[in-house]
Structure 1
Amino acid sequence: MKKILCLLLIVGSFSTSLKASTNWLTSFDDAKKMSQALNKPILVDFWAFWCGPCKEMDQNVWSKEDIKSLMDNFVPVKIDIDANVGLARTYNVRAIPHILILDGWGNILYTSVGYKDKKEITALLESFSVNMAAVHQGLAILEKDKENAYSNVRVAQKFQDGAFILKGESKKAFLRSSNSYFKEGLKFVPKDKPALKEKVELFMALNKAYGGSCKSVLKGLHKALPKIDASNKSLYYYIEFYCYHTQKDETKATESYSKLAELNSNTYLKKANYLIKKSE
């Protein structure tokens, strides 16, 4: 009960701070805490008082009511580079305005340098208006043991699941993050767990398929089929189904779906059924 009350007090104080500063926080540490509490991505605007384009964005973009409404899906924080030299250096900020979208632990999802007009910011904010709860849950576990294969793979899967339904810049960002954690997870896979290593490699192939490279993914899959571990067959046939479905080869997609159904994998069948329904 005390923990819940403490969290409510923290969120309440952050909310007051946001309103007082016209939607913007000024503390990066507070922004991370709030992001983790509310499961919203962090929107960072690196700026300076002497920056002309920054002032133009304040006047022509950030101050607009429809933009402010979209910003409700984020934890927005303005960082004065002259007052936060170390933080600017951490994120390699060499020109402003410099816009970042981060997860609650401060990891980069998207970065952009230079003036962006209202149309561009609208598209960006719409794309990244994402509930980060699943990703943040995985990151909280990973924080306790960053050299754990399963923890890294868990975070990678959460980003992958997000990419499955996202579009545009956010889809690209989630796939990049997913691949990064899969690669990190591979470093710590025990040598006596070849099926886990294979599963991670299949997940990375799925990311490649989600990114639009189904032709090369299928080529690699079919070479690997004779060696696929039984525990990974459902993932294999889901990837195969996804690629054939994406390529509109419904005959082969139906064959892959049938094999997937025989394995009775609810997780991948749900995704396959979602794709089928979406295309109807």
Structure 2
Amino acid sequence: MRPFFPFLPTLIVLTTFFFTNNLFSEVKWESSVEGAFTKAKKEGKPIFIDVYADWCGYCKTLKKEIYPKKEVQAELSNFVLLSLDGDRFPNLKRKYQVSGYPTLLFLDKNGSLTEKIAGMPDRRMVVRTLKSAFSKRDQESTLLAQVSKDPENNLLLLKLGEYYFEAKEYQKAAEYFYRSFASEDPRTPENRHKALFNLGVSFSELKNWEKTIKTFSLYLDKFPTGSAQAAYYFRGSAYKALGKRSEAESDLKKALELTSNPEEKKEIQDLLRSLGSDR
């Protein structure tokens, strides 16, 4: 006679349920920012960053009650995942303008921001935003395709330059900022001053000091009512890097006169003091 186990069907159902839950709880969270960004580029996957603080109650609720949900886990599996204590990563907070916790950042494979949630979301919002961010995972290809169809569109060229700048591909950024500035597109001529300014900043990031000086000199000549304070700052810093103290001092003093920001003032004053110590 076969044994009778009336509890067996229930056991099978429960086992299946717990196995499914365990399966969806196994998405991998990276522990290194550099490693996560490298992995995203290599695999062509977007990035999801959970920015939290240890003292934040909502952050704990997200991790315990929202992220383990099956439908959330399914969408998270399409991303390279990072969970970071925001107070330990001030540069990341500045870059992505994180002002409170929790903040959820959705980036493409090159680290360009596509979506952002500030504050406590519900499950539906997380799933919806993950899906939207995943659809924007390859902004580079989208922008390149748009530019290929309209190669003189200085707004598209500017956006592509900004994209590469955010991805820290400064040489490519400089190429597209220059093309945006040089474009004779009459639709959005106001973008030319942004493109030229950003071109100068790109050369500064590349430590090409001669081109930094040349670009910001052209900027100050063509757009004297633009961002003069920042232009003098970047040009002065480039002069300093080349050991041209008098030119650096002149530009940095002009930048100091034009700024009212206490942090900027302190930074410029420190640079001016360092010029004296270099003598």
TM-score, normalising length: structure 1:
0.44
TM-score, normalising length: structure 2:
0.44
Greater RCO (Cα-Cα under 8 Å, separation 6 or more): 1
Larger radius of gyration: 2
